[in-house]
Amino acid sequence: MEPVNVTDACLNPQYLLPSIPQTSGEGSSSTTDKNELDAAGWASEKTFAEFYDKPITRGLYPHSLTHMDMDNHRLTYSPDTLRSIRSHMTDFELRPRVINRLKELNIVCRRRGARAGIQERLKHTKASNFSFPYGFSSNINSLQGKFIHLEQTVGNMPNLCFIALQETKLQTVGNKWEGENVQHQVADEALQLQNFHMFRQDRGFTANGGGLMTYISKEWSINTPKVCFTLSTPDIELLAVRARPRFLPSDISNMTIVNVYTRPSANFTVSNAALKNALTSILMENPRSYIIIVGDLNRDRLPFLETMGYNNLVNFVTFPRSNTILDAVYVKGWSYFTAKKMHPIATSDHFSVLIMPRYTERYREARKIPRPKERDTRKSNVDNLRVMLDSTDWRVFTDTCDTLDELTQVVSSYINFTTDICIPYRTMSHSEVMKRLPADDKIKQLEKEKKEAIDDGDTTLRNRLQRQINKHVFKRRNEYFQKVTTDKQSLWDLLKSIRKPDEQQRNLVTDEFGQKLSQHFGRFNDASSKDISLILPDLSTAEPPVILKKDVKRQFGLVKIGIASGFDQIPWWVYKYCSEELAGIFTNLYNVSLNENSIPSLWKHAKTSPVPKISIPTSVNDFRPIDMSSIGFNCMQKLLFPYLTQAIVSHGDKNQFAYKKGVSCTDAILKLVHCVVLV
């Protein structure tokens, strides 16, 4: 007999049945040969086994089958076999026609769109990050023989914080009961779940039935959970376990999971009183404990818990046999949790209950403060920028640009382009901002010596300097935070630097007032005032001063850390860290500007920031304009300052003491006294 094709078997499930030989003659019946049936059954199983490389359990078949009872004698596969078959059904192993058919039968599902919601969010949250627990409760109706199913359920939800089970119907090995036969005796070691603390309470008044078990996740609880209350009577069984998560609201000190089971034949008046006394005892011992009551109460509601402020999250049927609500989850606050119905554990007659937290911390409810961003100026990125600028042929720009304005614009754009490529942005945490210290000359000197030691290959000196740097940073950091904690102004400045100011604290400027500010500070920006020629005084030389490359490199190295960029958007660290690579092209720009007696239009523009002079400004005169021009143009001014100073000294008034280096008002007073005394 030919083996069954796998594709046909998937498309037509009746191929999974052993073939029935045709009867001879109309209306006559014949008995199928046992060997032929076995051969047909093994042929189909062998095909699947070879295709999926997995063993398949073979069912037992009668010696004779008819078409009427064919559906009652299909091949039977175990759950593990079906899961292994499904796990091996991928798009790479089956034909597209088979995959489409499996999708139509909902055997292989095709996901569409993005997944969202509280349950999807919980899947990607670690157990250690939960403040309110993510739990699971079930009346398992005898844990004997269902522990493997429990492990599989927990394996699908690895971030569960607690598991509460009722009616485990187990007893500890060694317990003896007079006149009773213990049904199931299981040791604690056989009931351990990985990464969970186990707390077990067997029924104490009889050898069979009842029993509670609570598992607490080791990742969720930072300390070892403790049993704070137990109770085992014919009316109620209770097991309360206290745990301390890593994160909790400020008004809660710990979590208490109260696992409860009441028998259907119990005296509910007595059980209610016992439960109330247990809760009172727990709260008296720890008033700030948050209590979660889960279990099988065999009632739909407990009015006395509702009067204490507890709410039942279970609003669905948990006992399908009578279509009633017998399980409950009582918590304080509707907004903290939600409950969902889940499948029973194995053959249990109760649906399981999944307790999902939906509590959102207050700082997350508020508007999120964006973290500050800055350029990632690590040494590796700066080295890449230096290599790119060093390998640039600047003659391409100087030969193709006709005017000085065009050359300045193209060079600035190119520098910004290389900066964006080599120095990306990175997001800083607020703790990183707080740990930053003001600039320190000693650290700079030690870093310079450390770099020289690394270049020389002196490991001993390098390690010694690194220890000195660490000690100095630790000392400066302690001094800085000591100042912050004692000085209110320093503390306020630190808080303003790490947080975004509120809308109410901002000086809101309307569009109309902003236009007035722009006109007021930009009244000198007309074309006639911008086109000013750069004419230096005659210093008895026929040629204008020549700026050298070494002077430009030195001046770029002296750029202050943190100085704001100008209109060309080139930051300070580009000039400071790439001074050698940029010195050549900027030396050319400076000399061309001096030879043509003109300043590039890009350097004539500046960013103006209006700073209020008073706390509540009302007019344009209440603002002070702070202009931020290009750093490259500022460096050019400093290079030309000695030439201008020399001209001023030679042509200036000898009795001028203001705005001159090395003299002050004291010199003016002494000059006046000297003249008066002598005269």
Is 577:382 a contact under the CB 8 Å cutoff? yes
Alpha helices by DSSP H, listed for 204-297, are 268-285
DSSP 203: -
**DSSP-derived pairing of the beta strands 162-166 and 135-139:** parallel
Is 326:350 a contact under the CB 8 Å cutoff? yes
DSSP 209: S
- Can you give the pLDDT at residue 610? 84
Measured in degrees and rounded to the nearest 5, phi and psi for residue 290 equal: -95, 125
Is 355:134 a contact under the CB 8 Å cutoff? yes
Query: What is the C-alpha end-to-end distance of the chain, expressed in Å?
Result: 139
Q: How far apart are the C-alpha atoms of 453 and 447, rounded to whole Å?
A: 10
Q: How far apart are the C-alpha atoms of 302 and 296, rounded to whole Å?
A: 12
Copy the structure tokens of residue 231: 């109770």
**DSSP-derived pairing of the beta strands 254-261 and 289-296:** parallel
Please state, in angstroms and as integers, the Cα–Cα distance from residue 66 to each residue in 21, 58, 75, following that order: 10, 20, 15
- Can you give the pLDDT at residue 425? 87
Closest to 156 measured CA to CA, from 127, 123, 118, 128: 123
- Can you give the pLDDT at residue 671? 85
Q: How far apart are the C-alpha atoms of 231 and 634, rounded to whole Å?
A: 82
- Residue identified by tokens 């053959």 is 347
Q: Please, how many CA atoms are within 13 Å of residue 35, restricted to the half-sphere of its CB?
A: 0
Is 390:369 a contact under the CB 8 Å cutoff? no
Q: How far apart are the C-alpha atoms of 660 and 649, rounded to whole Å?
A: 9
- Can you give the pLDDT at residue 445? 84
DSSP 3-state helix, strand, coil percentages of the chain (rounded to 5)?
A: 45, 15, 45
- Low-confidence residues in the chain, pLDDT < 50: 1-74, 90-92, 501-505, 528, 539-540
DSSP 185: B
Closest to 325 measured CA to CA, from 306, 307, 339: 339
Domains in the chain (CATH in brackets) are: 6-104 (no CATH), 118-363 (3.60.10.10)
Closest to 181 measured CA to CA, from 171, 168, 190: 171
Secondary structure in 3-state letters for 290-308: EEEEEEECCCCCCHHHHHC
Measured in degrees and rounded to the nearest 5, phi and psi for residue 122 equal: -70, -30
Measured in degrees and rounded to the nearest 5, phi and psi for residue 550 equal: -65, -35
Measured in degrees and rounded to the nearest 5, phi and psi for residue 577 equal: -85, -25
**How many helices (H) and strands (E) in the chain?**
24, 16
Copy the structure tokens of residue 156: 């699908």
Secondary structure in 3-state letters for 316-362: CCCECCCCECCEEEEECCCCCEEEEEECCCCCCCCCEEEEEECCCCH
Please give the single-letter amino acid code of residue 65: L
Query: What is the separation of C-alpha 167 from the centre of its chain, rounded to a whole number of angstroms?
Result: 40
**DSSP-derived pairing of the beta strands 212-217 and 162-166:** antiparallel
Copy the structure tokens of residue 182: 């213990």
Q: How far apart are the C-alpha atoms of 558 and 630, rounded to whole Å?
A: 15
Closest to 230 measured CA to CA, from 196, 274, 194: 274
Closest to 162 measured CA to CA, from 233, 251, 239: 239
Find the farthest-apart pair of alpha carbons in the chain and give their distance in angstroms, rounded.
Answer: 155
Side by side, the strands of the sheet bearing 327-331 are 226-232, 237-243, 254-261, 289-296, 327-331, 311-312
Copy the structure tokens of residue 277: 């006394």
Sign of the torsion formed by the C-alpha atoms of 122, 127, 133 and 134: positive
- Can you give the pLDDT at residue 350? 92
CA angle 489/494/498 to nearest 5° reads 150
Q: How far apart are the C-alpha atoms of 189 and 212, rounded to whole Å?
A: 16
Q: How far apart are the C-alpha atoms of 249 and 361, rounded to whole Å?
A: 8
Residue 359 CB neighbour total at 10 angstroms: 13
CA quadruple 417, 420, 423, 425: dihedral, nearest 10: 160
Query: What is the separation of C-alpha 143 from the centre of its chain, rounded to a whole number of angstroms?
Result: 39
Please state, in angstroms and as integers, the Cα–Cα distance from residue 476 to each residue in 48, 166, 560, following that order: 72, 59, 21
Closest to 251 measured CA to CA, from 305, 287, 293: 287
Q: How far apart are the C-alpha atoms of 171 and 206, rounded to whole Å?
A: 10
